[in-house]
């Protein structure tokens, strides 16, 4: 019996290393698989972080470009408004220059009498002039800084002869508030020697036979 137990123990001792060696062969595979899984996990994490960073940078660049585009559009709009303003000012200067040339041409080689018309309303800064050629008896009537006539109204020139107003016509002002009217002959309104004054009133659209509005600008004849 002792011999049998001893042999059994020897057999178990011989088989133990064999079993350990058998399973020990799989241990590197387990370790390798774990390392591979860990590496894959690290790769996925790093890739995810990289993608998030790339998307964030892209969004930041797009946002910056949009801001610059908006700023450029606003700058272009300001430049367009400035150009429009300057073009308007240039148009106003051209209009004034044309008016000045008309006045200058009228005054050449003529016996001209200048009659000044001043504002008759406390809230009106307008003024006017009458250039009267005493030889030909034609006249140039112009006013400055008149506001645009209200809707349904118009401005009207009058000459006062022997106390009676005679209409010389209706007119409108330009954007600068200026107007020039040429009268080919004052004689058609009556005796030029009896002319007492000139004036402008605000009348219903189409004009009036006699003044119905208050005098806006007026001046006595010389």
Give the pLDDT confidence of 45-103 residue by residue, as tens digits.
556 666 666 766 767 767 777 787 788 777 777 767 766 665 555 455 455 545 566 66
Question: Which value, to the nearest 10 degrees, does the dihedral of the CA atoms of residues 188, 192, 194, 199 take?
Answer: 70
Q: Is the model more confident about 126 or about 22? A: 126
Q: Is the pTM of this model over 0.85?
A: no
pLDDT digits over 116-152, tens only?
Answer: 999 998 889 999 999 999 888 999 998 989 999 999 9
Contact 165, 197 (CB under 8 A): no
């Amino acid at each position: 019996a002792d011999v049998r137990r001893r042999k059994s123990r020897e057999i178990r001792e011989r088989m133990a290393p064999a079993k350990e060696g058998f399973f020990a062969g799989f241990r590197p595979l387990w370790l390798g698989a774990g390392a591979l899984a860990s590496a894959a996990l690290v790769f996925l994490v790093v890739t995810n972080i990289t993608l998030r960073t790339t998307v964030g940078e892209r969004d930041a660049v797009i946002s910056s470009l949009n801001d610059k585009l908006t700023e450029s559009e606003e700058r272009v709009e300001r430049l367009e408004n400035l150009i429009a303003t300057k073009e308007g000012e240039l148009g106003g200067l051209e209009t004034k220059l044309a008016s000045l040339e008309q006045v200058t041409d009228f005054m050449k080689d003529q016996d001209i009498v200048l009659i000044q018309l001043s504002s008759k309303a406390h809230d009106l800064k307008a003024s006017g002039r009458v250039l009267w050629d005493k030889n030909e008896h034609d006249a140039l009537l112009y006013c400055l800084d008149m506001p645009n006539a209200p809707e349904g109204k118009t401005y009207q020139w009058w000459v006062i002869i022997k106390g009676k107003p005679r209409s010389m016509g209706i007119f409108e002002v330009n954007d600068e508030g200026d107007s020039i009217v040429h009268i080919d002959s004052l004689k058609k309104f009556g005796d030029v020697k009896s002319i007492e004054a000139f004036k402008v009133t605000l009348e219903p659209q189409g004009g009036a036979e006699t003044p119905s509005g208050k005098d806006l600008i007026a001046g006595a004849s010389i």
